[in-house]
Structure 1
Amino acid sequence: MEKDAVTVYCPNELCQAANPMTNRFCQQCSTPIPQRYLWGVGEGKNVGNAGEILGDRYYVVKQSILLDCKPGLLPQIPDLDNLQTLRPYLRLFPYRLHVPQVYGVLWLEENGQRREIILLEKPPLQLRDGDTEVRLHPSIDTAWGQASSMRQLHWLWQIAQLWQPLASEGVVSSLLDPLLLRTEGGILRILQLRADGEKPPRLAALGEFWRVHLLHKCQQAIANFVDGICQSLDNGEIHSGEQLVAVLDRGLQEIGRHQSVNVEIITQTDTGPQRQRNEDACYPPSGTRLRKPPQSKALAIVCDGIGGHEGGNVASNLAIETIQTQVQQLTDFRYDHIDPNLLLADLEATTGIANDKISQRNDSEQRSGRQRMGTTLVMALGIAHEMYITHVGDSRAYLITQHGCYQVTIDDDVASREVRLGYALYHDAVSQPASGSLVQALGMGSSNSLHPTAQRFIVDEDCVFLLCSDGLSDFDRVEQNWETEILPIINENKDIGTVISRLVEIANTQNGHDNVTVAIVRNQVNYAEPSEPISPQLISLAAATSNEYKQSNVTVNLNPTPNQRTQVLPDTVQIKSRKIPFYLLILPLFLLLAGAVYWVVSSSLGSQTPLNSQNNESPANNPSTTGKTIPTPLNSPSPEILPGYQVETRTELQANFLPVSSTNPPSSPYPVTLPQGTVLKVLDRKLEQDSPESSQQVYTLSMEICQIPPLPPVSKPPEITLPKLNVGSKVSIPSDKLVNKVSYSNSADLSNSPCSKLSSTTEGELIPKQPVTSDRQQGL
C-alpha cells in the first residue's frame, strides 16, 4: 500500500473521519491527529512487510516501524496475569526519557499459531514536517565520532546512570549492544530491552564494550580519560554504577569549563476563563524576565494550589516563598565546590521544609481532611552545565530540543503509580475513572510521608525546559503544540515573551478549565573543544572520594531542617588509605554480640513483666477488673508493644498503608490518617534504628485494623486518592509516633474486643476508582 493511500482516523469519537497520514489536524473537525509511530518487538527480525496493515489498525512503515491508524482507540492490553515479560518496561517507567514504554500488544494468527507483538511507543525515530521518510536515530557507535567531548562524556554518563536500574530488572544487557543504544542529540535512547541470561553481565563488561566500540573514536581531549575509565572498570577499581557516575562527573566538570550556558527565564500565570481566583503561583513573579548572567541564580518555580481546597493560593505562595529562600542558601557557592548528589538530596529536603510549613499552617488553622490546603510543585535550577528538576504532584517539566519534546517528570497520580508498580499499561491506566487523582502534594501531611523527586540533566545543546501547571499540560496540549510554538525559540531565536503568551492563550482556549501557569527556561550553549586533554588522574581521585564523607569547611544552614546534606568541597581532596584498622574490624563484631545479648535479656524481661504493671492490684484481687485488661496510656518513648497486642488511638494518627498481603512497609508508602477511636492489632514489629537522644530502640509496627469509627459525610469527593481504610486493612507506624496518642493492652486477654472477634485477616484494598469532579482528571 502506498503511503498516500494510508488512512488515519480522527481521534475525536464524535467525528472519526478518515484523513491522509500526513494530516496533522482532522480535515473535518480540526482535532489534532497524533502521529503515533511504534516499534514492534516479536520473534523474527521484522514484524511485517512494508505497506501491510496489521490487525486492521497498524500500518507497517518498514521493518519493525508501525503507525497507529486508529489513535483514538485504546490498544489491546496483555492478560494482566501474564505481565512478566513486560514488567521491566513498567517498573522502569520513571526512566522513560531513555527507556521505551509499552503502548499495547498485537496478536497475529500465522499458520494456525498465535503470535504476540509488543508495541513500544515513542521509539527513537527521526521525523519532521514535510518529510515522509521515517528512520531510526543513529546508533551510538555511528554518532560517536562526530560528537564533541562534552557530548561523548554525556552519553557515557547516561549509560552509567542507567546501569543499576536496568541491572535490578535483569535487562542491563541492553546497555551492551550498540544497535540498541540510539542518540537523539544529547539524549541516549534505548530501542528495546534485552533480558539478561543466567549470568548477568558485570560492570567490567561495560569497560570492554566502550573500549571495543567507542574508544578509538574518542575526541582527543578525553581519549586518555575514557581509556583510564575502561581500565579501572576492568581491574575493579570502579565497581558500582554510582562510582562510575562520580568519575564521569569529574570529567564533565573539567570539560564544562570550556562551555558557557546563558539562561533566560520568563513566567506567566492566568486565572483562566472558568475560575474566579488564581490559586497558582510562580517564581520569578508573573511577567518577570530573568537572565543569567548577569543574575547569579537561574531558578524557576511553578506551584498549582489544589483546586477545591480552601487556601490553595495561600499554599502555593507559601511554597514559593520558602523554596526560593532555601535554594538561595544552597547556591551561594562555586559549582565545583558542591557535590551534585548531595545537592539533589537537599533539594528534596527543601521541598520537605515547604511541605511542613504548609502543614503547620493547616494545623494552626485546625484544617483537617479535605479542608487542608495544598499545592503541587515543579522547579528548575540551572547550575553551570547542569539543570536540576524537582517536583511533587502533577505540575510538569518538559525538555524541548531540536529532536523532540520529552516529559521529564512523572505525575504523582493514580495512573502513574499503577504503572510504576507493574500493575497496568499507562494508556489503560489513564482511561480509568479517577486516574488523574493525586497521591501526594505539599501540605497534606508530614514530610516523613512525602516523596519528592529530584533529578539532574546535563545541558550540552541549546534547549528549553518548560514548566507548567495542568491548565496547559492536560489533554496533551504541550505535545500537540511544541513544534509550532516552542521549537522556534531554538531554531528561529523567537522571543520567549511572545511564546509564553501564546502558550497561555492555548491553555485558555483549548483547555480553559483551570488556572494556568507557565515558566520557560531557555538555555543557549557556547562550547569550544579543549586544546589540552584532561588528566586521567581525575579517575582515581573521583573513585576514591565517591565513597567518602566529604568534609566541608563551610556549611549551609538550612534551619529548621536537621537533614541538611549539601557539602561545600575543599579545593583539594586528599585520598585516604584504603587500609582498614584492625580495631574497626573487631568493633562491629563486638557491637553485634552486645546487641544480641541485650535483645535476649530484654525479650525475657518483657515476657515476664505485664504491660499494665503500673496498676498495683492484680485482676484477680480487683472485682472491677476481673476478666479485663485495663488499656495503658502510652507515654513512654519506646514501650514493649509486642505482636498480638491491641492499640486504640486517642487522637488522629498518621500511618502508612500496607499493600495487600504484606506486613512490611512499602518502598513508596501511602500516607493515611487513622481517626480517633481506631482499634488495631499488632501483627509484627521490626527494629529500625536507635535514637541517640534517648538511647531507646524504635520499631516499625505492622498492624491490622480491627475497628474503625465511621467517617463524617463529605460534600464533595477528594482530589487526592488515598487507600480506603476498612476492617482488615494493614498499616505501619513507627513506635515513637505513638507516644501520648494511643492506649494499649494484650488482646489475648480481651475476649470481647474487636481484635478477638476478627477471625481472619481481611485484605486491605485501595479505594475503588470512581468518577470525581476534579480538575485533575486526565484525558487521552
Structure 2
Amino acid sequence: MLICHECQFENPSNHKFCQNCGSLLSQRLCCECGTNIANNVEKCHECGAVCGAVRIALITKNDLQQDLVGVSLELRTTKVDHSSMICHYLDSQKRYQLLEPLPPLDEISNPEGIHIRVLDCQPNQITPLQAIITNQAQNLSPSSMIDREGIPPLAQAYIAMQSQNYRGTPKIHDAWQQDGIQVILLQYRSHWQSLLTFWQEDSTTSLQRLEYFYQMTIFWEKLAPLNACYSLLELSNFFLDEDKFLSLQRLYIGRKKSTKEFNRQELNKTPSIQDLGELWQNLFRKSQQTKFSSIFDLLADLEQGKIGTIRDIQSRLADLSQKLRENTSEFAGQNIIEENLIHSESITTETVTVLQQDKNNDTRTIANAIYEDLATITTPIELSNLDDAGYTNAGKQRTHNEDCFGIETQISKVELPTSRTIAARGLYILCDGMGGHSSGEVASNLAVNTLKDYFQFHWTEKKIPSREVIYQGVITANQTIYDVNQNDARCGVDRMGTTLVLLIIQDNKVGVAHVGDSRLYRLTRRQGLEQITVDHEVGQREISRGVEPDIAYARPDAYQLTQAIGPRDSTSITPDIKFLEINEDTLFILVSDGLSDNDVLVKHWETHLFPLLTSNANLDIGVKNLIDLANQYNGHDNITAVLVRAKVRLVRRNQS
C-alpha cells in the first residue's frame, strides 16, 4: 500500500499516481524551493535542502548477556552499483540506504547499541510494523499485538508508548530482528533544537523552564510502567518541536545510556526521582543559568529525599508557577515573562462549542495542572506568521456555483539584529448565495465585494474593528443586496440573498460575524476542533427555546434559515458578533454547508485538518483535499472552504 505524501490517500502498491489527487508517488516537492525530487534522494539538487525521509536506525542485541559470536554481517554487504556509485543498505529489500558508515557490530555489546542515519527510499510504502500498529488500533488490544512474532522486544516499548498518543513520544517507523539483532527505525529529530541549547538562551524564561520540568514529570509517569525512565536522564535525548514542546529522540529501556565500559549491575537498577533532580541540576550547570531561590529549594529537597513521589514534584512546580506570577520581585534582574505560556488556556470573550477533545492527549496537561487556577491571565504572545488558502467547487449535483469567498491578508515585518516584530491583519469572507436563477451567485459576490470595500475605509487603525464597526459592515452588505431586490421588484423565492461568515484578524485579536448557516471552526492542538458559530436556522432556534435537539430537528422546516443577508431590510437581521484571542497556534476554517453537512468535518478533522497546523503543511493542498472530502461524503451542494493558519510565539521583553 502506498500513502500519498500530498493527501495521505491509500493507493495500491503498483500505482504510479495517487488515485485521489494525481500526485506522482515516486516524487515529492522540495520543502524549501518546491522542486520535484525523487523519493530516494536525501537532498534537493536545486537548493541543497534536506527533504528526504531520513530515519534514525538503532541496532542492538536481543540479549545483552550473550556474546556476538555468529552475528550476521548482512547489514554491511547489501549494496547496489549505480553509475559506479556504490550504495549500501541496511536491509535486504534495499529500502533503507545508509547515510553514514556502519560502526563495528561489536559495539552492539554496549546496552545503547549503535545508531546511524538512513534514508527511506520508499517513504510512501507503508511498513509492516505500521500496518500492524494500525491493525492493533482498529481490531486488537495492545497486549495481544506486542506478542506477535517478528516484532523485536525493544519495539514493544515504542509501540506501547506511541499508543498513548502523547506528543513528544519517539515515533517508531519500522522494526525487525535477525540473528539476535534488533533494528528499530525512528523519526529523525536530531535536526530539531536541543533542550540544552534553548535552555542556554538568555530569552528563555523561568516559566518555560518550569514547564519543561513539568513535561518531564508527565513523561516519567508514562515511561515508568515500561521501565524506560532512564530515557529522561540523558540531556542529549531531549529536543523541542516547532512549537517548543519537549520531545524524546529514543527510549532507553531498563538502563542508563553508557559507553562501552558499562556496569552490568546497573542494568536492572530502577531510576529514582532523585536522578531526575540530578538531571535538572545538570541543566543549570551546563547552561550557567542562575537558579532562583524557590527552584533551588526544590532541587535541594529532591537531592535530600524530602520529596517522595512524582505527584509531589508536580504539586511543587504548580506552587512555584503561581508564586512566580504573584511575587515577581523574587526574580528581579532576570529576563522573565510574568504571564502564561503558549501552551496555557486560550481565553475568549465569548463561549464556543467544543466538538471534540482527545482525553488521552496530555499536551494540555501543563495548562490543566500547573495553570488551572490562572486561566484568566492573558498569554503574552505575538503573531509570528499568518497563512491562508481558499477554494470553491460546484459540487457533484449543481450546474453552477453560488458560493463566493474573499481573502485579504497584509503582513509587515521589521527585523533588527536584536529584535524582530511582525504586524498582520486579515479579512476573510465566505458567502453561500440563494434565490432564483444565478441570483445567489450575484448576492454572494455583492456581499463579499461590499464588505471588502467597507473595511478598506473603516479599518484604518492598527487594532481590531469594534463591534459597532463590524455590525455596520454587515448591515451595509445587507442593504446593498436588499436595494437590488427592491429595484428589480423581486419577490418570493426570486429575492436573492446569501449567508455570511466573516473573520477579521489583527495581530492576535480576532473578530467574528455571521448570518445564516455558513460556519467558522477553530482548531488548536489542545482543544481539538471547536465550532465557533451557531447556525441561524429553525432547528437551532427551537433548541435555544429549550426544545430537545431530536424534536427540534424532526420538524420539516428544521434547516430553513431564520436569517440571511439581503432578502429583507436591516431591521430583520441580527448578526452574531464575537471576539476571540489567538493564544496558541490556530487553524481557522470557514465553510459553506456543502462541507459542514452530515458532520463531515467533525468526523474527519484529525486526518484532514490537524496536520495543517504545522508550518510546513501546504494549505492550498489541504483546502483542496477538504473539497474532495466533501464531494466524497456530500456533493449535493456547492462547497467552499477558507483556511487561515495563525502561528504564534512568546513575547520577548526585558525585565526592568
What TM-score comes out, normalization by structure 1 length?
A: 0.36
What TM-score comes out, normalization by structure 2 length?
A: 0.43
